[in-house]
Structure 1
Amino acid sequence: MRIGVFLISAFIVLLTILGFIAPFLTHHLIDANYLLTVIATAGALGGIAFAIYGWYSSRELPKMIDQKVNAQLESALARFNERLIKQQEAMQKVIASYQVSDTDRKIDLLQQAIDLDPTVYNALVSLGYVYWYDKDDFLAAEQCFQQDMEYHPDNYQAASDLAALYAHYNQLLSSLSWIRRTLELNPAAWKSVDEDTRFDAVRQKHFDDYEKLIKRAKSVRHGYDGLWGGK
């Protein structure tokens, strides 16, 4: 459209210039009537040209908009389908890892799933448990659980996994902190937390703080904003 406006404007300017220089080429002087005629003619031609261009644009513009919108929709749909395929493939690899007994092969499958889609359900958590129980690699397990929390900040189960991991490696204050986070995300999880033997050392070492967290979670009925602000 910009090109069309430019061409019309250039055409009008060219006609105007020719109108001005024509008398000089024929050795005639420019009088006022001639000047007004040139200007009026240029204006009339410009008006006609822009009217025709406006009519054309009014017919073609909707088609251009439709084409652009359709192209954007097709591009978005292609990206969505590509993501969906990756998610499905990633989930298949996670499921396949459940059937594998070899630790390195399980790690490889889970890592492939994460590479395809780091947000895929349970991939990072499963990988964290492999590093924890099969490899006894605290740092790798911690990283997996923390990454899952980054992708799924409301995943109270991953928060509980981190609490259990810290308790297992005798980092009891960190464990207590993630128990708190677990119950902030889901106060109803207090029962499963309280029955989890992996937190026995936390209960023994930090009994009062632990009981305070459980008591707060149990008291929740209709929302819990503000309940976790105090000590």
Structure 2
Amino acid sequence: MKSNYVIKCMLFIFIFLLIVGLFSPFIAEYLNNAMGTDISINSFDSNYLLTVISAASALAGVFFVIYGWYTIRELPNTIEKTINEKLDKEIKKYNERIDILLEASQKMNTVYNIKDVDQKINLLNDIIELCPDMYNARITLGYTYWYEKKNYESAEQCFESELMSNPNNINAMCDLVALYDEMDESRNSIKYAKQALDIDKNIKNYLLNDSRLKEDLKQKIEELN
């Protein structure tokens, strides 16, 4: 702000002096007529014009030097102010993020104590809206739809949504394996079993010991590389 003010002042002075220089012949003529003086300035004289331009250029150079000195003097304060503003902004964002995480965590703790299924679903949806990447929120919502509401489609959407946000979430993949097995969609079960195995070969043992899976599906998983 200070540097802008200095620039405006220098420009004003420069333009004022330039105008005075260019219009001085007319000023001299006015003074001659009004006060009877004998000031002679020819505005069309090339030497005079060159003098005005040279003087204006010299003034511009002086103003540039003054502005450069002022800028260098103010540079540390400007840098410090800019850094502090950015730091304050980042700290504010960080604190807001912490507040959101704390609120979401408190609500997640409440979820596990709620007996009413619809109330639990509503609270989980609020948590996901508040903090979309809240750990286990979508998975818990999927379980609620699956085990307590028998709403397989909504459970599927929850697990798929979790994978969109966290593509390497093996737990969500294994849940989809079990969900599709319960829905008698073994092709989709095998699809997500393969995806999980691509990330971690050891997950096969977990799937083979998953009590939710039917034996014929376990046999197919056993054959996967």
TM-score class, shorter-chain normalisation, is 0.7 to 0.9
Deviation at 1:4, TM superposition (A): 4.2
Unaligned runs of 5+ in 1: 217-231
How far is the alpha carbon of 1:99 from its aligned partner?
2.3
- Say which of 103, 110, 114 aligns to 1:96: 110
Query: What does the per-residue CA deviation read over 1:72-111, in whole Å, with 9 as the maximum and x for residues that have no partner?
Result: 2211211111112111211221122122222223223322
The CA deviation at 1:129 is 0.5
1:104 partner letter: D
Match status 1:53 vs 2:67: yes
Please name the residue that 2:37 is paired with: none
Instruction: Spell out, residue by residue over 1:38-73, the C-alpha distance to the aligned partner (whole angstroms, 9 max, x if none).
Output: 223222222222211111111123322321221122
Instruction: Give the letter aligned to residue 210 of structure 1.
Output: I
Letter in 2 for 1:19: G
**Native 8 Å contact 1:172 1:201 kept in 2:** no
Amino acid aligned to 1:61: L
1:25 aligned residue: 27
- In the comparison of the two structures, how many residue pairs are matched? 211
Give the TM-score normalised by the residue count of structure 1.
0.82
Contact 1:131 1:140 in 2 (8 A): yes
Residues 150 and 202 from structure 1, CA distance in 2 versus in 1: closer, same or farther, beyond 3 angstroms? farther
Query: Is there any run of 5+ residues in structure 2 with no aligned partner, and where?
Result: 30-39
**Counterparts of residues 69-148 of structure 1 (less than 5 Å):** 69-148=83-162
1:122 Cα offset (Å): 0.7
Counterpart contact for 2:180–2:186, Cα < 8 Å: yes
Listed as ranges, the matches of 1:146-185 within 5 Å are: 146-185=160-199
Identity %: 36
CA contact (8 A) 1:172 1:202 kept: no
CA RMSD of aligned residues (A): 2.1
Q: Matched residues in 2 for 1:21 and 1:47: separation?
A: 22
Shift, 1:32, TM fit: 4.1
Q: Secondary structure at the match of 2:133?
A: coil
- d(CA) in 2 for partners of 1:62, 1:10: 27
**Residues in 1 aligned to 2:78 and 2:67: alpha-carbon distance in whole angstroms:** 15
Residue in 1 that maps onto 2:58: 44
> In 2, Cα distance between the equivalents of 1:53 and 1:130?
68
Say whether 1:212 aligns with 2:212: no
* CA-CA distance at 1:33 after TM superposition: 3.9
Decide whether the 8 Å contact of 2:117 with 2:148 is kept in 1.
Answer: yes
Pick one of 61, 66, 70 that aligns with 2:80. Answer: 66
Cα distance in structure 2, aligned partners of 1:188 and 1:210? 12
Q: Deviations over 1:183-219 (max 9, x none)?
A: 1222211101111232225527xx4x53332xx2xxx
Select the structure of larger CA radius of gyration.
2
Deviation at 1:160, TM superposition (A): 0.5
Query: 1:11 and 1:212 mapped to 2: Cα distance?
Result: 87
Q: Which moved more, 1:29-38 or 1:117-126?
A: 29-38
SS for the counterpart of 2:115 is coil
The alignment partner of 1:199 has SS state of: coil
| AA aligned opposite 2:223 | K
